[in-house]
Every structure is written in structure tokens, then in C-alpha cells.
Amino acid sequence: MQAWRSELRKQVLILVSVCLVGYSIGQFLPALLLFLVCYVLFNLVQLHRLTKWLAKDHASDRSAPPEGFGLWGGVFDGIYRLQKQERRASAYLENIVNKAQESSAALEMAIIMVDRNNNLDWWNKATESLLGLRYPEDRRLPVTNLIRDPAFTAYFGRNVYDEPLHINAPGDSGKRLEIQIALFGENERLIIVRDISQLHRLELMRKDFVGNVSHELGTPITVIKGYLEAILDNIQDLDGKWEKPVIQMHQQSSRMENIVKDLLALSALETGTPSRKQSSFALIQLLSEIVNDARQIFAQQDHQFSLSCDENIKFIGDRGELYSAIANLVSNAAKYTPYQGKINILIRLSEDFLEAHVEDNGPGIEAQHLPRLTERFYRVDVSRSSETGGTGLGLAIVKHIVNRHDGELTVSSEVGKGSCFTCRFPLSRVKTDGRDTVAADERAETPATLMDKLSQASRH
Ligand code: ATP
Ligand code: MG
């Protein structure tokens, strides 16, 4: 502002002096005209020098602007100052981008950015070795063209990515990958891929180990239990002091037998052994069998069972496995609900899902336990569960079976009011007409362990 005022003062002074001189020599108008022409010329020259300097390639030529006169000097310096500030800011940003690129290149996990049209935008170096992407050929190609696994396509198509996806590396089935997607910006996606082959191998070893140990333990336990049963049959021949220990040994050996059977069932489910038979069968018939069995086995508890299911609904899946899953839930409801409880089995068919609910009005489960219920050996109240003969494997088995049928298991519960376990299946697992493709007596294939468990629970 100061410079502007002094410039104005200077120009007015020159103008007044020129006018006075012109007036004194009788040439007022020509003198005024001369002043204006000189003023315009001066400004044109300054403007020309500025445009010439601005036209230079400032990336290579960083020379300062020419010396400006009057107000123009301030304009030249101001532009130069702004230019220097911008250079500093872009150098700073460039440095950050370089560091981000260098650090992402040093990462062992693959990081891929996908634009809103699902095309590959950017990826780090590890992506090239993990997924075989090539730069720049694959840039702008749809990501699902390059990772062709159908599981990935289905996962990518979802917009909720709570759980990571595990797949084999494209073109290398020996390599196992964990994929996690995060949404950012305007429907853009960040895909993070980790090589979990080592973890996967360890997990397989653990599952094999549990499977083998359970298998090996089966025979000795059966022998011990057999001898104990024989001793119990002739208990009168023994000294009376042995009666209680032998009964307890027999109970515990039955418990061990059930744990081993459950572990074997779980290990078969975990190792992805394919379901024995995929068939369609009437759901009401399967549920009626479960309810009838539970009524008999829990007769002493005098529970009130109710079943609501449309007669036309047919389920497509492994009948034995589904029997095991629902019966596990019914057995839990019956086991943990005190005398004369109400146990409802409801099947609801909506436009999107088939839901099987097993409800009870038992003690309920505190909220902090709900997320852990399906972990192996997790029991809410260890003393209460061991009274009822539980091992904590039942719900882990249910979860696996439901997942194997593309469904999910959820639990809602209120302490003092009861619990509701829901198995939700997609409609692809449902048929509402047509003949069954499975004979009703396939129930004989259902795991014996459940019936053992039910009867054992009822004995306590
Ligand atoms: P298993 O079924 O292997 O014989 P379990 O019944 O103890 O043993 P889960 O079926 O996995 O094991 O159940 C885990 C725990 O969840 C149980 O120990 C129990 O504490 C709790 N639980 C399950 N169902 C109910 C229910 N309907 N009401 C109250 N608590 C329940
Ligand atoms: Mg159970």
C-alpha cells in the first residue's frame, strides 16, 4: 500500500511538472499527450519483460525475474516469491511420495490401489512377485481379470470386507494368500495381500495333529470303557468301596470318548473333507426327528418343545451334518434350560434367507461371552458345563457345518430371559417343491456322538 501511494505521488508530481512546463511554453496539450504516451510505453515495456520471463521453462531455468521499475518491481518480486514457495511445497510433496514409494517397495505384502471402475491404478513391487502383475502392461486393466479366482471375484463384489479372504496364489497352488480390502476415496479400493503359506502349513499340521491324536486315542478309550462297562455289569462281585470310583471312571471315559468323537468330527469339518452327500430333504421331517429324540432323552426335564416349519420347505445339503448342527443347538437349549423350560424351533423363509431359530427361556448368556461361544472348548460356566457333561466343542461344530452350507450362525441372548441361536442360509440352499432326493432313513448316518451326548447330558 505504501509503495502504491508513493508511486501515485511520483506520477502525479511528474504529471504536474510536465503540465507546468507545457503551460509555460504554451504547449500544454502536446506536453500532456507526450506524458501519457511515455507512461503507456513504459508500462508496455515492463509487461513485455514480465511475459518474456514467465514464458521461460522454470523447471530448468530458475533465473530471477528482470529488474522491475516502480510498482512493477513489486509485481516481479511477488511472483518470484510465490514461485519459490510453490517449488518448496512441491519438493516436500515429492519427497513424501518418494518415501511412501520406497517404503511400500520394501514391504513384503502386496498393496494395490483400484480405481472406482475396478481397474488397477497403482501397486507396489511385492505385487509383481506375489500376483504376477506387470507394470505398465496391466495398468488400467480390471483387477478381476488378473486375479481370476471366483472366490476373489465374489469377495471383491461385496462392499463389506470385515473378514479377510484366503485363496491360493494365481498360478501357484503351493502359495496361500490372505486378501483384505479397504474402501477409500470415492468408491476406490486398497487391496492388501499377504503370503500366509507358512501359517497355512502350520494350521494344516495342527489340524492333522488333532485329527491323528483323536483317532489314536479312540481305540484305547473304547477298550477302557468296554472293561469298565463289564465291571459295572458285575459290580456286586466287587468290594462296595469300589462302586463309586468305577461309576465315576465310566462316566469320565464316556466323556473322553465324546471329546474324541467331537474332535474327529471337527477335524473332518476343518480340513474341508467334502460333505458326504448333497441332497434335498424335507426340513420338517428332520426337525421332527430331532424334537422327538430330545423329548425322550430330556423326559425328566419336562421341557415344552414346539416346532414351526412349513411342510413344503426342502433343504439342499448334507442331511447328516444339518441334523448334527440343529440337534447340537436343541441339545444345548435342553441342557442349559432348567426344569419345565420352553424350547421353540422356528423356520422362517424370507425373500432373501432361510432362518432356523432355536430359542429357549433358559438362563441366557452374558454379552461378553457371545463372540467367543464358537471357539473350541469355550464354555461360559466351566463348573456348570462339566456338570452337564459339555466339552465346549458343540457350537464350533455347528458353526463349521453352517458355514459349509454357505450360512452363518448368530446368537442373541438376554441374561435371565433366554437365548436364541439362528442359522441363516441363502435361498440357493432351499427348494419349496419337488420330491426329496434322500430317503428318510438316511438319518442313520447322523453322527452317533450327538445321541451319546444327549443321553449323557440327560443322565446328570
Ligand atoms: P458340547 O456341546 O461339546 O457337549 P458344550 O455344550 O459345553 O459342550 P457348546 O455347545 O459349544 O459346548 O456351548 C458352549 C457354551 O455355551 C456352553 O458351555 C454353555 O455355557 C453356553 N451355551 C450354549 N448354548 C446355551 C444355551 N442355549 N443357553 C445357555 N448357555 C448356552
Ligand atoms: Mg453343546
Provide the residue-wise pLDDT of the chain in tens; the chain has 460 residues: 777 888 888 888 988 998 899 999 988 889 889 989 998 998 899 889 888 888 888 777 777 888 877 888 888 888 889 988 998 999 999 999 899 888 888 888 999 999 999 999 999 999 988 888 888 889 999 999 888 889 999 999 888 898 899 999 888 878 899 999 999 988 899 999 999 999 999 988 888 888 888 889 989 999 999 999 999 999 888 888 999 999 999 988 988 898 888 888 888 887 766 666 788 999 999 999 999 999 999 999 999 999 999 999 999 999 989 999 999 999 999 999 999 999 999 999 998 899 999 999 999 999 999 999 999 888 887 665 555 567 889 999 999 999 999 999 999 999 999 999 999 999 999 987 766 555 444 444 444 445 554 444 433 3
Would you say the CB of residue 454 lies under 6 angstroms from ligand 1?
A: no
Tell me how far the alpha carbon of residue 287 lies from the centroid of ligand 1, in angstroms. Answer: 20
Would you say the CB of residue 393 lies under 6 angstroms from ligand 1?
A: yes
Quick one: angle between helices 319-336 and 283-297, nearest 10?
A: 40
Quick one: angle between helices 394-404 and 243-270, nearest 10?
A: 20
The reported pLDDT for the residue numbered 285 is 94
Would you say the CB of residue 257 lies under 6 angstroms from ligand 1?
A: no
Residues pairing with 359 in the sheet: 344, 420
Would you say the CB of residue 379 lies under 6 angstroms from ligand 1?
A: yes
| Atom nearest to 380 CA in ligand 1 | 20
Q: How distant is the alpha carbon of residue 415 from its chain centre?
A: 29
Would you say the CB of residue 456 lies under 6 angstroms from ligand 1?
A: no
Residue with CA nearest ligand 1 atom 12: 392
Sheet with 279-282, strands from edge to edge, namely: 279-282, 314-317, 430-431
The reported pLDDT for the residue numbered 183 is 92
Would you say the CB of residue 373 lies under 6 angstroms from ligand 1?
A: yes
Sheet with 172-184, strands from edge to edge, namely: 120-123, 110-114, 188-195, 172-184, 165-169
Report the C-alpha gap between 76 and 66 in whole angstroms.
8
Contact 156, 143 (CB under 8 A): yes
The residue whose CB lies within 8 Å of the most ligand 1 atoms, and thus the one to mutate among 387, 395, 398, is 395
| Atom nearest to 378 CA in ligand 1 | 14
| Atom nearest to 369 CA in ligand 1 | 16
The reported pLDDT for the residue numbered 446 is 45
